[in-house]
Structure 1
Amino acid sequence: MIEARQFVEAAREKGFDWYAGVPCSYLTPFINYVLQDPSLHYVSMANEGDAVALIAGVALSGAPGLSHRRGITMMQNSGLGNAVSPLTSLTWTFRLPQLLIVTWRGQPGVADEPQHALMGPITPAILEKMAIPWEVFPTEPDAIVPALDRAIAHMDKTGRPYALVMQKGSVASYPLKSSVTTVSNTKSVSCVVSKWRGLESTARPSQCQALQKVVTQTPTVSTVVFASTGFCGRVLYAIDDRPNQLYMVGSMGCVVPLALGFALARPDLRVVILDGDGAALMRMGAFATVGAYGLSNLQHLLLDNGVHNSTGGQATVSSHLSFAGVAAACGYVSSLETDDIEEIDTWLSSAPLAGPRFACLLTNTGMPESLPRPSMTPVEVKTRLMRHINPTTGVN
């Protein structure tokens, strides 16, 4: 058995200062220790997949002396199911490394609750099927640094995750002071502002028109733009392929936690998220995380056309809810919903507030014909962005 301090401090020496995850009783000592050190960062996530995406955003942010900034995602092994999509189509595809600490509930030969009876025995195989090398979490102080070195060697060589699988009783307990909370952000939240013209769906602005406004209002020197998977990134690419843009592929719904991780790690840059109604519905818990942790450098723009456009136009359920109402309830400091593209233009150019801002624009379903796909690979897009935001740092 080791102490939380021994692992966390060894990890800090190796550059790991960001943590995100969903609690498990095995992980409690780590979470409690990190929460009580103001020089470390812990983000409590709505689900394990969002945690993977957030730490991927931290890795993307870069840092002097590192090709990727280092972070740790913590989860119970039951949460691997929630994390499969970002682990297989985000971190693997874009080569965004992170250290995973996965608890081994239901380990063969160890009595546990019935819900772990299947996941326990298959946890190693799941990691292996996702091409994630793993080893048992160190339980002796002298084994910590060698384990971290092996993880870092893999992460630096491949740009992909490495996992430590934690057995029961690996870490001694560490108490949490009653005065410590997981979220220190407190913001004044504005009411939802609605600016509807009542346009018929065919008369609403197009996604292309909206993204042209985004390009105009997001200068490359100070802004990073994250485009959701689907047609959004392809339209943005067709309008103007710029080095400050990242085009999401796969991992539907993960653009919000990815951009949040980046924005938290790089408060010097303005971050604009381009979201869609289908993607937002898939991982709406991320709204609450942004509301709790998001800073003034984050703007979240959701383009709602009411359909899954890139798969044939199947309807979403977005007409039954107010995304702006959800954002306001989750803690965004301002929240706008409109069908007037000029309102979005004004929103994009407005001065920062005390926290994250949200806007939803109702658009039509039309798309340009022969929409191109980015000619660059996801890794090339990522590397270009990292070089753009870290011009004096060598990025692999």
Structure 2
Amino acid sequence: MSTSTVPRLAARSVVDLLHDRGFGPFTGVPCSFLGPVITCLEAEHPQDYVIAANEGEAVALAAGARLAGRHPVVILQNSGLGNTVNPLTSLCHTLRLPILLLVTWRGRPGSPDEPQHELMGRITPDMLTAMDIRNELLPDDPEVFAERLDEAAAHMAATGLPFAFIVPKGAIAPYSKPAVPAAEPAPPLMRRAEAIGEVVRVMDPRTLLVATTGKTARELECDWDRPENLYVVGSMGCASSVALGVAMHTDDRPVAVLDGDGAALMRLEALTTIGREAGTDLCHILLDNESYESTGGQPTASAGVDFCAVATAVGYRAVSDVSDARSLREAVLRAQRDGGAQLIRVRIAAGSDPNLGRPALRPPQSAARFMEAITQ
């Protein structure tokens, strides 16, 4: 079977072949490798695609769909494969609920990628096999893919176990969205880089600042690098918990975290722990552009989530919902003055510098430098 990374499969062909064989609904968390498929689903079959907050939730949703007689498909980046281990092994395997997985292969050996993808890239096929999930590379020919889908369906019917296609970079060609009428222009919002700048300029210079993975960390390093910054790469959704752990065990230093809407939704339970430790000084700044920007701008579910109400309900001392630079500056100053756990939701526009570079500092260096800065 070919392992070519030259785009061969059209996104619509993938979706149509799956639908023709009775597969659906679709759910999952985006990856740019499968971005064209997700965009096609959103444009042409919106009723058949459910945005999940994390990959484990997607597997559980798919399990429910299978119980209801459907043949669901879960779309995920292999970085999130760890989030699926429990529901795949203790739910799908136990109840014999077969679901089809489309798992991207970031960090594939021999293919340059980011440091956070290296280990998972090396173990992805073996990890699936260890969970009794038969897996193979996504074919690059539609006719072969159709044959392999039939084999996957037969395997799942015979065993009651999931089946996975591993999707390498470039396996699926870009998808062009149908033209839609332009919406009324919304009031201008800050972009993330601008919001980060407003935060750094007014916060206490001694603040230990943790940045979530993706473009948030990259923009912070590019424009405002300092030893007191920790750039969390990978482990999406964990930055706020990392920051809380720092704050609980660091005396007399303000701590803040730059979070994202997709990341916060992926680990929404983190808010409950922060709220329970509301006496700990942590300024939780949630930059919300309603999109998974690093994977191609697919929408998150944040537009329908009142993060401030959630934070209030779980015990945060105070919350702010802002959308302009002045209000953001005032909220940061107020949070650091008053102390305790405080959430600042910042509504921002999508988009970033297309020339934004990758982090110059290796993750172990970032962590070591941050640990040294704490002791200063």
TM-score (norm 2): 0.51
Q: Does 1:242 align with 2:226?
A: yes
How many residue pairs get aligned? The number is: 212
Q: Deviations over 1:295-349 (max 9, x none)?
A: 3421000010011111110011111111111111111010111212211101111
TM-aligned CA deviation for residue 355 of structure 1 = 2.2
Quote the offset at 1:86 in angstroms. Answer: 9.6
Q: 2:201, 2:318 → 1: CA distance?
A: 22
Residue by residue, what CA displacement relative to the aligned partner does 1:115-155 show, whole Å, maximum 9, x if unpaired? 699xxxxxxxx9xx79xxxxxxxxxxxxxxxxxxxxxxxxx
1:369 Cα deviation after fit? 2.5
**2:356 counterpart residue number:** 371
**Amino acid paired to 1:207:** R
**Does the 8 Å contact 2:278/2:317 carry over to 1?**
no
Shift of the 313–202 alpha-carbon distance from structure 1 to 2, 3 Å rule, reads farther
Q: What is the CA deviation profile of residues 167-202 of structure 1, one whole-angstrom value per residue up to 9, with x for unaligned ones?
A: xxxxxxxxxxxxxxxxxxxxxxxxxxxxxxxx9556
Distance 1:262 1:294, change over 3 A: farther
Asked if the contact 1:86/1:254 (under 8 Å) is kept, the reply is no
- Give the Å deviation of 1:217: 2.2
Q: Could you tell me which amino acid in structure 2 is paired with residue 342 of structure 1?
A: R
User: Does the CA contact (< 8 Å) of 1:333 and 1:353 recur in 2?
Assistant: no
Is 1:316 the counterpart of 2:304? The answer is no
Distance 1:88 1:216, change over 3 A: farther
Q: Is the 8 A contact 2:215 2:294 kept in 1?
A: yes
Residue type of the alignment partner of 1:239: D
The CA distance in 2 between the partners of 1:317 and 1:210, in whole Å, is 21
Correspondent of 1:359 among 332, 344, 348: 344
Please provide the CA RMSD for this pair.
Answer: 3.4
- What CA distance in whole angstroms lies between the structure 2 residues aligned with 1:202 and 1:252? 30
Deviation digits for residues 238-272 of structure 1, max 9, x if unmatched?
Answer: 11211110111111000111111111011321111
- What is the DSSP-based 3-state SS (H/G/I as helix, E as strand, rest coil) of the residue aligned with 1:336? strand
Distance 2:293 2:361 in 1: 23
Matched, 1:276 2:264: no
C-alpha distance after superposition, 1:14-40 (max 9, x if no partner): xxxxxxxxxxxxxxxxxxxxxxxxxxx
Q: Give distance in 2, aligned partners of 1:334 and 1:200.
A: 32
The alignment status of 1:389 with 2:374, answered yes or no, reads yes
Q: Does the CA contact (< 8 Å) of 1:267 and 1:295 recur in 2?
A: no
- Identity rate of aligned residues, in percent? 34
Look up the SS of the partner of 2:337 in the other structure: coil
Q: Give yes or no for contact 1:277–1:302 (8 Å, CA) kept in 2.
A: yes
Q: Which structure is richer in relative contact order (CA contacts within 8 A, separation 6 or more)?
A: 1
- Within the candidate set 167, 191, 207, 1:223 is matched to 207
Q: Does 1:254 align with 2:238?
A: yes
Q: 1:378 to 1:116 in 2, by over 3 A?
A: farther
Trace 1:184-195 onto structure 2 (pairs within 5 A). none
Structure 1 length normalisation: TM-score? 0.48
Deviation of residue 215 (structure 1)? Answer: 1.6
Call closer, same or farther: CA 1:307–1:201 in 2, change over 3 Å: farther
Name the SS for the 2:242 alignment partner.
helix
1:333 has 2:325 as partner: no
